[in-house]
């Protein structure tokens, strides 16, 4: 147990959401705190690594102390641990995911500079790259820790790297906080991104009289068209590659289904018409096969007897001193 006021949250990437805190407080009142927070010692106190909402919920309930797991981590590993906890959560917005992924990449590559693309490497590191596990790459390591695909990790890392912190802060929690909008910001000069966000947030909705507005299509199709128009060429390529993979999977499933249907039809062909007659035909075929098996067994026994008699006769002739031709 450690005192809550000894835990610092000063340099955290993400602060607590009041609605989540209130919901957790209600749960803690009913069933108690199920999992301790995770902290790391620093400057005579502690820095929070995981459990911001749990800690704030307990604070709101008047707790002075809280159960905690204490880990001795350096600064980069603290950042990675905080990022992993949040990237595993299902409630992150696009801007938060981009920010956490970028921060995790910076910390991971600071710990493992040999995995950084284009970074300085010693000669033995270069020689070992060919045999290095895929898990050593940032994208593979992050995907394994957070349950995402490597493609999603790479996409979020690129958004975090190419969109400025100021623009990400301005987008966070607004109607513009989507992956596609962040992709449009990537092509804007960094020093102009925040201004563009503010302009887009305050822009009036398109007029129905605007010749560029969609009047022929339904709203969902019109919105999809506008969103696609905002995508960068790289993002469009990523989407097309993903869609092609989905189509290929669907075609493979369709081929498998057709083959199974054909096999079922073949099996059911003998059951067309009178089912009793079909059963009699199958029974007759089974009896015929059993007869063939019995006759084959009888023939095998007969041949074995002949072989035994021949071997016996050969032995008799050899005992009599009669030479046999090979």
Q: What domain range is 4 assigned to?
A: 1-72
Domain count, the chain: 4
**CA 156 distance to own-chain centroid:** 14
3-state secondary structure of 41: strand
Give per-residue pLDDT as tens, 251-277: 776 777 777 777 776 766 655 555 666
Give per-residue pLDDT as tens, 46-57: 988 888 888 999
Assess if residue 139 is contained within a domain: yes
43 and 58 together in one domain: yes
3-state secondary structure of 88: coil
What is the model's pLDDT at position 130? 37
Q: CA 7, 92, 21 angle in degrees (round to 5)?
A: 45
58 and 99 together in one domain: no
79 and 65 together in one domain: no
What is the model's pLDDT at position 172? 85
Assess if residue 212 is contained within a domain: no
H-type alpha helices, the chain: 18-31, 52-60, 75-87, 94-111, 123-128, 138-146, 150-162, 165-171, 179-185, 190-202, 219-230, 233-268, 275-319
91 and 224 together in one domain: yes
58 and 85 together in one domain: no
266 and 227 together in one domain: no
Between 50-59, 125-134, 178-187, 222-231, the lowest mean confidence (pLDDT) is in 125-134
Global model pTM greater than 0.85: no
List, as one string, the DSSP characters of 111-161: H-GGGSTT----HHHHHHGGGS-GGGSHHHHHHHHHS--HHHHHHHHHHHH
């Amino acid at each position: 147990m450690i005192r809550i006021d000894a835990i610092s949250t000063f340099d955290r990437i993400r602060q607590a959401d009041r609605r989540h805190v209130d919901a957790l407080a209600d749960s803690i009142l009913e069933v108690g705190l199920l999992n301790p927070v995770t902290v790391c010692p620093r400057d005579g106190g502690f820095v929070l690594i995981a459990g911001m909402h749990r800690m704030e919920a307990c604070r709101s309930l008047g707790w002075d102390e809280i159960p905690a797991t204490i880990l001795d981590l350096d600064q980069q590993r603290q950042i990675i641990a905080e990022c992993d906890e949040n990237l595993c959560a299902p409630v992150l917005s696009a801007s938060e995911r981009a920010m956490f992924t970028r921060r995790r990449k910076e910390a991971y590559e600071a710990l493992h500079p040999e995995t950084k693309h284009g970074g300085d490497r010693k000669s033995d590191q270069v020689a070992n790259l060919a045999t290095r596990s895929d898990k050593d790459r940032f994208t593979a390591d992050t995907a394994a820790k957070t349950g995402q695909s490597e493609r999603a990790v790479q996409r979020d890392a690129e958004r975090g790297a190419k969109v400025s912190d100021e623009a990400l802060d301005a987008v966070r929690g607004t109607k513009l906080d989507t992956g596609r909008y962040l992709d449009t910001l990537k092509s804007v000069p960094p020093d102009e991104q925040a201004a563009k966000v503010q302009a887009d947030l305050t822009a009036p909705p398109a007029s129905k009289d605007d010749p560029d507005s969609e009047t022929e299509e339904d709203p969902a199709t019109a919105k999809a068209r506008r969103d696609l128009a905002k995508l960068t060429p790289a993002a469009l390529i990523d989407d097309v590659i993903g869609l092609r993979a989905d189509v290929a999977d669907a075609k493979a499933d369709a081929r498998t289904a057709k083959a199974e249907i054909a096999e079922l039809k073949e099996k059911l062909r003998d059951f067309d018409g009178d089912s009793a007659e079909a059963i009699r035909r199958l029974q007759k075929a089974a009896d015929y096969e059993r007869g063939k098996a019995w006759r084959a067994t009888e023939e095998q026994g007969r041949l074995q007897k002949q072989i035994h008699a021949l071997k016996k006769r050969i032995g008799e002739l050899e005992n009599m001193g009669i030479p046999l031709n090979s």
